[in-house]
Every structure is written in C-alpha cells, then in structure tokens.
Amino acid sequence: MKKLIVIVFCCFFLCCRDSSDKENGTGENLTTVTIVPQEPFPVAKFIEDIRVLPLESDGKHLIGAVDNLLFTRERIVVSDQRLSKCVYIFDYDGKIKAVIDRQGRGPGEYISPTYTTLTPDSSRIAIYDNLGSKVLFFDLEGRFLEHKEVSFWFSEFEYIDKDHVVCTTYGADDPGLKKADMQGNLMIFTDGDFRIETGGLRNMYGEHPNFPFRPELKKINGDVFLTPAFSDTVYKVGTGSLEPYYHVDISAIGGVTHMDAGISRDEYEDLVDHNNFFSGRFLENDSFALFIFTENREIKERIFDKRTQKVYSLTRDGKVNNPFRISWFDVDLLQSKSICDNRFVAVVPAYYLLMGYSNCADDYPQLAGLKEESNPVLVFYKLKDPDKTD
C-alpha cells in the first residue's frame, strides 16, 4: 500500500477510544483493481437494458440539482440541498407523493439541509441541518416526526446500523469536537443519537488547507464506504472500524496517492494539472464497480467486472461510442448516482434530453410532453458482460 494508507491506519487506531473492543480492519476481503493505460471501450458494450422514469413536478417545486438519490421498497427520495433546498418523495411510477420544504428556524424546520439519508430500516428520511445543529426525521409521506440535536459540525453522515453513525467532518477545531477531545479528526463515530463515541482519520493538512481534503462517504445497498482524500483505498466502515475493501492501484498510470501537508496552492494546482488521482468516488452492484478518476484534470471512468476481474477504460468520446450506440442514454451511465434493484441509476436533466429527443422519441414514448422546466429523468441500467456477443 502507499504511504498515505499507513498514515490512515496509524492515525485511526491511535485516536480511537476503547479500541480493544472494536473491529480491526484485517483486509481479508480486499480486492485489488489495477489501472493500466488502455484504449477506451464503448459504453454500450456494457448495457443490456435501459429503463427511463420521468419525475413528475407539482408545478411549485422544481428539482435544481440532485445531491442524494435514495430508494426504499415503495418510494424514491431525491434531495436538492443546494438549489431548491427541498427533499422530494416519488413512487415508482414517477408520481410525486410529497415535498419536504421546511426552511425556517421553527420546530420541524431546517435552515440548511446539508445532507439527506435514510434510517437503516428505510422508514424515515433523516435531514442534517448543520446551521441548525440538528438532524430532522420525516416519514415517507413527508410528515415531520422528531429531531435530534448534534453537538458538532459535520459534512455528511450515514447509519452503519440503528445504533451507530459515521460522520465526516471539516477537520477544524470545532467546539463540540474539542469538548470531546476529538478535534482535528475527519471521521467521527457516534451512537444513534449523535453522541460522540470515537474518532479517527486525523487531519494532517490544517484548518485552512490549499486543496479539498475531506474523505468521500457513500452508502451502497446497506454498506457504508469511506475513501480518504488522495488515497488508493476504499474502506468499508464498521462499528468503529475501517476495513480495506478495494485497493485501486494507479501506479501504472502515474497516479498520485499522497499530498504533502505543507504543499502550496500553486504546487497543488501544478500537481493536479499533470498527474492522475483516484477521486474516491465509486459505485457498485453485484457484478460491476464504477470508479471515477481525474487524469490531468479530466474526469475519467473505469469499470471493473467483479466476475472476470477485468478493468475497462470508458469514455464520453463520440468517435468511440457512436458506432456501437444502442440508446441516446448510453454515455449517461458514467454519471450514475445510485443503485436500485442491482441497476445503476443516472439522473438526466430534462433540458439535456430535449436537445436530442428526436433520437430517442420512438424508443421512450414516456418522455413525450417533456419540457425544459420538467424535473429530471431517472435512467436505470442493467449491465452485462461486455465481451459476450449477442
């Protein structure tokens, strides 16, 4: 492993309280994904089936940007924390069932909906309001249920189980973290009521670094994953522990997996301009994992076939994709945000579809009537072995 990974493990276990009764990350389930220079592969070769679902609008609340896309057995939950500052609840026909629009400072209201997730039983929507220092809970009909106060600032959180939560922080000397002797940690474990239990992943870059450094946090099919900034390892999060899950070996493409703490902004910009990084973002279903990289500032994707252990380089380049195109939606697979029923799910803005609607009108009649002001369309992808001939 790289130097950074050693630091991550040392910092994590040294700052945990009562670490003797925590799970230790053994790495027994570690999978290595080796990235090598290769010609890009047509995206369409991976696609077996595509389904589209336009999301209805109530005429009052339009989705500006999708930050989190969540699925329960009967509902689809969409959070737009930056633009409309609302959370939308749809059924699987795309019909809008409720909108949580509760900006304010009163009971059941939020100042800033910073992050949205589901409780482990998927019966409640949890909205973190960092400016209000609380997490608000709503049922799947959009009704307010209760709130829980939080004593420190964090950026994202996910439930490991009903009694354990992991949060990623800003790495600053927050008063709440300082009181718990957890200041400077980028990862905090709490109980189900957001009371601090342990912390880890020390911030080595200071309170005002010259580059983004917060770890990536993602929940996929009930499992929580965390990737430190500038790392080559995705960790599976347990109750007070990190277990190596994917080692993304980017050495063959000149990948950088460590950033010196004292690096200047100019040095950082130059490094990013001329090197390759694993962004920490990934998404997986039972058979495939999609990894996102930055290569000389360009977004690049690789898809890993878990069954064959093969890695494929993907591209948005029409010269590669167009001869194999099966749908207007092929390349949108690369911007998938979530997994539902083992399908990758992308969010495509209505205005984008209208630019090429004539190319997909016959295949997707449910898009008829789409307008620029319509809510986005969800696209569900069933993938297949790309080397298998039809």
Q: Tell me, what CATH number does 98's domain have? A: 2.120.10
Flag whether 56 is in a domain.
no
Residue 335 has pLDDT above 60, yes or no: yes
The model's pLDDT over 271-324, given as tens digits with 9 standing for 90+, comes to 888 889 998 999 999 999 999 998 888 889 999 999 999 999 998 888 888 877
Under the banding of pLDDT at 50, 70 and 90, the label for residue 210 is low
The model's pLDDT over 366-377, given as tens digits with 9 standing for 90+, comes to 888 888 889 999
Give the pLDDT score at 2. Answer: 34
The model's pLDDT over 25-60, given as tens digits with 9 standing for 90+, comes to 456 789 999 999 999 999 999 999 999 999 998 888
Flag whether 356 is in a domain.
no
Flag whether 337 is in a domain.
no
Q: Domain count of the chain?
A: 1
Flag whether 272 is in a domain.
yes
Flag whether 373 is in a domain.
no
Flag whether 361 is in a domain.
no
Q: Is the pTM of the predicted complex or chain greater than 0.85?
A: yes
116: containing domain:
3-46+62-329
Q: Is 55 in contact with 94 (CB distance < 8 Å)?
A: yes
Flag whether 57 is in a domain.
no
Flag whether 113 is in a domain.
yes
Alpha-carbon span 336 to 345, nearest angstrom? 5
